[in-house]
Amino acid sequence: MKQISIHIDRLTNSITNVVSGDVFDTELHALTAHDKPLLKKGWSFDWLVEMRSFEVFKLVIAKNPSVIQGLVSLSDRGDHIFVNLVENAYFNIGKNKVYEGVGGNLFAFACKLSRDKGYEGFVTFFAKTQLLRHYERTLGAERVGQSTRMIIEPTAAERLIIQYFSKK
């Protein structure tokens, strides 16, 4: 079982340049074998292996699709979307990151996909124990029992969808 450990820096409107404050519209596209050159540097996970088993989507700035800002692996579980893995690009991590809002954008996409498939926005994932409270505060996720499984229910999902996709 993979546990999600992405830090949700803040919820933004698309993604925001940390230095300038400029907001950039984003797009999500399915990751393909053509993206292999973009995956050689700085990724913690082997996303090409991941896409053999799951749908993987890349987050890019609309006017700069050749730079991947973040990646998310999703599974359709028939009544909800499950987040297998999620990762910021290395340049969007830490105190010197370029953009904020990438992680929130990726989770909002999972919620939107769930809603679009008729699952009302239900999304689940397993979180690292030390991040359970963080995901409760930032994403509105709820812990399922005493496990590290978390769920984003429709009300919280709709907030994320509106935050990131209301103008698209």
Write down the architecture of domain 15-165 according to CATH: 3-Layer(aba) Sandwich (3.40)
> Per DSSP, what are the bridge partners of residue 82?
75, 124
Q: Which pTM value belongs to this model?
A: 0.95
Q: Confidence class of residue 41 from pLDDT cuts 50, 70 and 90?
A: confident
DSSP output for the chain: ---B--------SSEEETTT--EE-EEEEE--GGGGGGGSSS-SS-HHHHHHHSEEEEEEETTEEEEEEEEEEEEE-SSSEEEEEEEE-GGGSSTT-SEE-HHHHHHHHHHHHHHHTTSTT-EEEEB-GGGHHHHHHHH--EE-TTSSEEEE-HHHHHHHHHHHHTT-
For residue range 50-73, what is the model confidence (pLDDT) as tens digits?
999 999 999 999 999 999 999 999
